[in-house]
Amino acid sequence: MSLAHQGQRFLVSGGASGIGLAVARLALARGARVCLLDRDRATLEAVCGELGDGAFAAVCDVADPLAVGAAVAQAAEQLGGIDALVNSAGIDSRMPLEQLSDAEWARTLAVNLTGPMLLCRAALPHLRGAGGGTIVNVSSGAGLSPLLHRTAYCASKAGVIMFGKALAIEVAPDNIRVNAVCPGAVDTPLFRTSYEQSADPERDLELIRQRYALHRIAQPEELAEAILYLSGPGSSYITGTALAVDGGRTFH
């Protein structure tokens, strides 16, 4: 296993499951130390116990400004600084606009767009203090092309792409790079919940596969590889980009 991230200090939101957990596992395996943020205390503590040395936990709702500030400060203390931020926490929203409540619209944008903003804002002083660093925002293919009945979700994921591009310009003089990954369907708890409640989950899953040139669903570890690449020295001349990691969905 490569130790390309030896000594790097990662802060990963949404770290208790899915893509965030895969990022934490891979970063630890490559020599990094990781603080995982999540609002599910029990799961977060269990995950950190499983991950072992080098893994730390901070309980946080990413949509709560005060909680974010406290969690980032805690993470920086636990890790001795922050070199890399991965904004992986997110929620889904699926319904026609006329059925979309004000509360669901607000919550979707609060978690998927305001959350990354709050974490970036709180982490920037620590990244500067480290002499520079990286930010990777987990957006979605839905931020690049629209999906039916997903107005709130698409708006939030497109917003985080442009937020990252604007921030990349702002913090480039500080040697901080900001990028996004845009996954398609990934085999995570969030994705499985979206189709397992249907009348025929296997049929629906096959219909989803057919949308992708590679005709399969991504594994979280495949997204983690892309995120670690954008967080490491091999991508030192890449900033302000949105990398589609979607099995060919956007052109298929």
Question: Which member of 153, 195, 212, 237 is catalytic?
Answer: 153
3-state helix, strand, coil in the chain (%, to 5): 50, 15, 35
Helix or strand (DSSP H, E) at 56: strand 55-59
Residue with tokens 């990781």: 34
Is 212 catalytic? The answer is no
φ, ψ of residue 58 in degrees (nearest 5): -140, 120
Crossing angle (nearest 10°) for helices 151-171 and 102-109: 30
- Of 142, 230, 144, the C-alpha closest to 190 is 142
CA dist., res. 173 & res. 70, Å (int): 27
Structural contact between residues 84 and 11, judged by C-beta atoms closer than 8 angstroms: yes
Beta-bridged to residue 136, according to DSSP, are: 86, 179
Per-residue tokens: 161: 């792409």
Query: Which residues are catalytically annotated?
Result: 153
